[in-house]
Structure 1
Amino acid sequence: MREKIKYLLADFEKSTIKEKKEDLNLKQAPLKVVRNSCIRLHYELFHLHVAIPKVLGKELSFIASKKCLENIQQSNIFIKENFPNHVFTVNGKSVHNVKMPSDSYICRITAVCALPDGQVLVADYYNRRVKLLNQQYRVVSHLDVRVRPLDMCQITPTEAAVAMSNKEVQFITVSQSQLAKGRKLKLQHYCAGIAHNQGDLYICSGTALYKFTLSGELVCRLYEDSSADLTVWKCAVSPTGDRLYIISWDQRKLLTLARDGTLLATYTDPALSGPRGLHVTPAGQVLVCDYLSYTVLQVDREGESKLANLATLEDGVSYPWSVCYSSTTSSIIVGLWDDNILVFRVE
């Protein structure tokens, strides 16, 4: 990677100012390929780490998991140092309808979860359903849930956890393009947002951020703000687990916390008039979608400044409620408060 960068810089110094943009893009292409390969391998390595205990014996599993975890941490450091503030460039858009004939109400996509095989899970709030979309973003399966789903996060390549509006977390599994309910976690508080990182489960109660084990054991309360009803609405975690991000619905802010819950940064912006969706990519890019300004924006890893408005109302973003990045398809998926999702191809 270092040699490629040196080569590109040296070659750029020799070039003229009038060099065409197309030529420059061609010179950047090798670096983009390396970056994308690194992100993909990191993603696959993590899921291999998750799958190992199910395949090997106890002792071999422990040794292999330790070695795998070391490589994941090294990969995380490399990604953290090189790519977290790489600004996405949008180069295409498509619109996909996710309404089913049996839906009773207009869809409201409160969560999107991109799976490694290219399939996508969406949580439909009003119809109380989790829907599975194939690689062409068509609904191929669905699961009815008892109450309205508020958020969702991936646990393994075939399992996701859904934050429910009745103080529960419902685990669901994906097998052969079918969805099935798994175990439940019953909580003592509201469950508005949920995120997972390396075996830790982070849950937003509306006014506090809690850390749980995957078995449902409370580890600690990391952060709390009781000044309003929805100060801790959604959360996300950096790939290295060293930074936590929170969007405050009531205060219209993005908060960045250290691993122990210490407040590191507070970001406000006119584009954050109604923040609803939050996502961190495997490379550490921070994405926020705003319901009232009709904007999908990218914020720097430190949570201190905006890097770009990636999509706006002119691009079809109307009342966005959720956002997710797919490493498999190199696309940003935006869930709207209607029957559609938007898919932006990025590099």
Structure 2
Amino acid sequence: MDTTRALNIFLSVARARNFSRAAIETGTSTPAISRAVAQLEKHLGLRLFHRTTRRVSLTAEGERLYELAEKGLQLLDDAMDRTMYAKDALRGSIRIAAPRSIGSHLLVPLMLKFQENHPNVGFDTVLEDCFTDLVGQKIDIGFRAGSQPDGVLISRPLAPLELLTCASRRYVERYGAPTSIDELDKHRCTGFRQPNSGRTVPWEFTVGSQVLSRHVSAIATFNDVDVEVSAVRAGMGIGQLPTYLVSEHIRSGELISLLPGYSSSRMGIFMFYPQRERLPARVRRFIDFVAREDMSSFFNSTSNCPGEDVLRIPKAIVEV
């Protein structure tokens, strides 16, 4: 029996809690997965899984093996990685998922800079605005704009995400500019529709110590923020948009920042990944590289991008 292969298959089933899903992740058939697990159980003389028609769960012995095997294979991976380090041979592909806007504005510059020192590392990027199942799609690292990912994911905040209310100069010349939050009800506004939920995202404003959440009537909604930026630049309406997508247009005078005293920085840009252990060397190196980078050049505001210490637990949100 190939012990290393059997343990890797066992770990895949243990994580997926499903033989069919483990087969997809390992690129083999479900019967082959079942045979490998059965051989491992016979070899150990232990039952590793409770199996029903609907569910697969670990036995107490399976839980113990899972804990030990994870650590053992991590040591094996580390030994292989250290050998590659000695030969200066970081190589292979890193699979990354991110929203389209982050892909073009953040990831491409980061990938280019990383490859200057590690030319044998490639990238396979999946750009979509829906929240991605990292395990199901075999993603190594994900990036997200908005609230911090929850669940079993490991996440790192990269920068605060400031939202600016703005409009084109042409729009302001034709319709005027609101002087208060309430006056937005009299204006033409755009909206962003969450790809996962299909709901239009409410706008946020910082008023004193509170963050106000307000549903603004939209004359056009979009599920792609870059397209919404284009609509606002064209004069379709007022939009509330991420700073990193509009700061350059505001500095050039094409867009005008409205209600600047009420901008919100409650959300952030996050990098996340499914686990800390057993990461390939190339993935760990890229994670550490991104974490060390100065993000102010990517997420700069119309003045200066606030430091990482601004990204805190959200203030109380009041819906109005």
Question: Above 0.5 in TM-score?
Answer: no
Higher Cα Rg, which structure: 2
TM-score for the superposition, normalised by structure 1: 0.25
By percentage of residues, which structure has more strand?
1
TM-score for the superposition, normalised by structure 2: 0.27
Higher RCO structure (Cα 8 Å, ≥6 apart) = 2
